[in-house]
Amino acid sequence: MKLKSHVSALALASASLAGLADAAQAWSLEEAAKPYAGTELEVLFLDRPGYNAAIQMLPDFEAATGIKVNHTTVPYENALGEQVRDFVAGGDLDIALIDLVWIGNFAENGWLVPSETFINNPELADPALDMADFFPLVLDAFGSWNGVNYGLPFDNYSGLLFYNRCMLEAAGFDKPPATWQEVMDTYGPALTKDGKYAYALQSKRNETQSADSFARFLWPFGGSFLNAEFRSNLNSPESQAGLQFRQDLMQFMPEGIVAWDHAETVNALAQGDVAFITEWSAFYSTLKSPETSTIADCLGVAPEPAGPAGRRPALGGFSLAVASQADAAEQAAAWLFIQWVTSAANAGRYLELGGVPARQSAYADPALAEQFTFIPALVESWQEGVPEFRPRFAEWPAITEIVQEYGTRMMLGEISVEEGAREIGTQMEAVLEDAGYYSGAKPLAQ
């Protein structure tokens, strides 16, 4: 991915617009939206804190613009299918909600409008847009494909280590584990006792297995899904070491961890049953609220432990992009909404309401870092992530199903780590072969 050149180009574009002082003074959301007053936008949302925050902010946007944003909340597991079917059928959605692993799929099928279309339109582009203010990793991973930006980061996560400080202190630890090896050698044995466990790794057979469990132990150990030739890298010594480490670490996890999804894992920490978990930053508000957590006062947040190859934390999140199936007025209105809800000006409020913005400027305020204790860890994590934590090409929906099946069977001991990795690799390469990556029909972009 041409991350730097891509971000620079966007930054230049927005900066050049920002340089137009007259335009800057003339531009206002209200004026820009006047031609589109009465337009109704359709978008899918998830039932997560970031979306609830946006929903609370919506009345302000609608009052200022006269544009109505109709949001339908769906479970994450349905969001991809709902959107694919809508775009294939030429449906109603005007805004695409893009998980980072869907961006290749959506972009290659022509379902998105590149954001430059709007950034280069002075009537629609807010002079304060400032694309360079987004964390570069996040802007690239969540909203860009093959050097072109389509979406602006909206619901942004990094994997973080959430821990029960009181439980760690009672066991004689004054800080959380900094490396996975410490978890295995020191923290695991000391904290797994009396019906309590050191660690819970959500591993249910859905995207949780491939994203939260399988991939989490590939990257910090130097492994990856694919090598430079797009062949499976899962049987490399590094990948094998990571996957075997996950297997060995299960002795410090609750029984039946392969059936645990986010809810069970977050709940286990919130109820004081496990000492730490690695979860998405979005769960901070759940764990910090006394209404949903018994350890709110004991909650600590740190970056994920590092492996031999560094930290390489889990990376996930969603961007919003304008759907190409929308008509011109809807596209313009959709851009105005996306630009507004992800703006630096709104980032503070979004954060206050439970969202996690990807604006660097939002985290510069030390007072905010004190109020939201996950901020330093989050900012640190977004410096060290890898965009292809999960490959983002159109074939990921097929590959993730393979990973989910064999990743779970590995954990259950039904097949060895080596056999499972080989089986995933063989099937993964068959999918990529079929898609045309090895014949040169498709570029090796992930």
Partner 1 sequence: MTLRVPRRTIAAFIGPAVAALAIVGVAPLLYALWKSFHDFNLTQLARQRWVGLQNYQTVLTDSDFWDAIGRTALLFVSAVPVQIALGLAIALVLHRPGLTFWKTLTRLSLVLPMATTYAVVGLLAQVMLNQKYGVINQMLGWVGVDAINFIGDPTNAFIAVILWDVWQWTPFVALVLLAGLSTVPPEIEETARLETRSPWTVLRHVQLPFLIPSLVAVLILRTADTLKLFDMVFTMTRGGPGNATEFIAILIERVGNRQFDIGLAAAQSIIMLAITIVLARLYIRLFYREVS
Residues near partner 1, by CB under 8 A: 80-81, 84-85, 88, 105, 109, 204-206, 254-260, 264, 268, 273, 394-395, 397-398, 401, 405, 408-409, 412, 414, 435
Alpha carbon 383 to its chain's center: 14
Output the smallest distance, CB 389 to partner 1, in A.
20
Output the smallest distance, CB 408 to partner 1, in A.
5
Output the smallest distance, CB 237 to partner 1, in A.
26
Output the smallest distance, CB 87 to partner 1, in A.
9
Token code pair at residue 435: 């898609």
CA distance 292 to 303: 23
Place of tokens 């469990």: 213
Residue whose CB is less far from partner 1, 210 or 346:
210
Pairing of strands 197-200, 274-280: parallel
Output the smallest distance, CB 118 to partner 1, in A.
25
Scored b (16 or more CB within 10 A) or e, 240-272 reads bbbbbbbbebbebbbeebbebbbebbbbbbbee
Residue whose CB is less far from partner 1, 182 or 264:
264
Pairing of strands 299-303, 197-200: unpaired
Output the smallest distance, CB 106 to partner 1, in A.
9
CA separation, residue 28 to residues 20, 35, 72, 116, 128 (Å): 14, 13, 28, 19, 10
Residue whose CB is less far from partner 1, 6 or 204:
204
Output the smallest distance, CB 406 to partner 1, in A.
9
Tallying the residues shown for the chain, one arrives at 446
Residue whose CB is less far from partner 1, 12 or 259:
259
| DSSP state, residue 357 | -
Token code pair at residue 97: 């909600």
Residue whose CB is less far from partner 1, 230 or 382:
230
Q: Of 360, 351, 358, 185, which Cα lies nearest the Cα of 284?
A: 351
Residue 275 has a CB neighbour count (10 Å cut-off) of 30
Scored b (16 or more CB within 10 A) or e, 96-126 reads bbbbbbbbbbbbeeebbbbbeebbeeeebbb
Residue whose CB is less far from partner 1, 65 or 209:
209
Output the smallest distance, CB 444 to partner 1, in A.
17
- Residue by residue, DSSP assigns 204-248 as -TTHIIIIIIIGGGTGGGT--SB-TTS-B-TTSHHHHHHHHHHHH
Residue whose CB is less far from partner 1, 173 or 197:
197
CA distance 429 to 437: 9
Q: Are the C-beta atoms of 312 and 384 separated by less than 8 Å?
A: yes
Residue whose CB is less far from partner 1, 293 or 339:
293
Residue whose CB is less far from partner 1, 84 or 128:
84
Output the smallest distance, CB 256 to partner 1, in A.
2
Residue whose CB is less far from partner 1, 99 or 304:
99
Output the smallest distance, CB 9 to partner 1, in A.
27
CA distance 172 to 191: 10
Output the smallest distance, CB 85 to partner 1, in A.
7
Q: Of 328, 314, 330, 335, which Cα lies nearest the Cα of 115?
A: 335
Using alpha carbons only, give the angle 308, 313, 318 rounded to the nearest 5 degrees. 160
Residue whose CB is less far from partner 1, 37 or 430:
430
